[in-house]
């Protein structure tokens, strides 16, 4: 639910603005959203005892140079009592900026460390295939195979040993 509300606010922020101003707002929102990891800060923001205008002042004080757009935006969120949406809005704004710049971030899941050359070759192949700038990071986990997940594009490609075994068994059984 919070993601849907955040998308509407981000759409309003992005409309009619150039990439430079959107990036500046995004940087400020990211610094503000990092404060939401602190329990004390969250208790102040969610407290009914603290005045909404004081909450807005606190959030704005986290940014060194808050421009008029950001100040008005935070005041609007404060009026609507939606300051807790700021991390979701910052995340969604990052996604929108990536789409505007045609830049995406993906993750390669494997059960052992891949060489950086191999990851770079996967990046290059997917960049050519989807005509985007792609940056892949590696996540070593217990996945038995390899899986590439590019969230912004909605692409997930995987090769699993277990799935290959089951498909091979099914094929043999059908042939018999």
Predicted model pTM: 0.71
What pLDDT was estimated at residue 166?
Answer: 83
Helices (H), the chain: 2-14, 19-34, 39-46, 52-61, 68-79, 86-100, 116-130, 161-175
- Residue extents of the structural domains in the chain: 2-98, 110-175
Domain 2-98 has CATH 2.60.120.560: no
Cα–Cα nearest to 92, from 172, 39, 13: 13
Percent of the chain with pLDDT over 70: 100
pLDDT digits (tens, 9 = 90+) for 21-68: 888 889 989 999 998 998 999 899 888 898 888 999 999 998 888 888
Q: What is the pLDDT of residue 135?
A: 85
Give the percent of the chain with pLDDT over 90: 14
Region 78-82 average pLDDT: 91
| pLDDT tens for each residue of 121-153 | 888 888 888 888 888 888 888 888 888 888 777
User: What's the pLDDT at 171?
Assistant: 84
């Amino acid at each position: 639910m919070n993601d849907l509300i955040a998308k509407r606010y981000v759409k309003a922020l992005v409309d009619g603005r150039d990439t430079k101003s959107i990036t500046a707002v995004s940087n400020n929102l990211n610094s503000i959203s990092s404060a939401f990891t602190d329990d004390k800060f969250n208790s102040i923001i969610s407290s009914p005892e603290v005045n909404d205008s004081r909450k807005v002042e606190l959030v704005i004080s986290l940014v060194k140079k808050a421009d008029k757009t950001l100040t008005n935006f935070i005041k609007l969120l404060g009026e609507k009592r939606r300051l807790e949406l700021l991390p979701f809005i910052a995340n969604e704004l990052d996604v929108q900026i990536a789409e505007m710049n045609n830049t995406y971030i993906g993750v390669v899941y494997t059960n052992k460390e891949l060489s950086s050359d191999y990851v770079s070759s996967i990046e290059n192949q997917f960049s050519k295939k989807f005509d985007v700038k792609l940056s892949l990071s590696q996540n070593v986990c217990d996945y038995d195979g390899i899986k590439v997940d590019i969230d912004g594009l909605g692409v997930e490609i995987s090769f699993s040993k277990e799935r290959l075994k089951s498909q091979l068994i099914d094929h043999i059984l059908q042939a018999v």
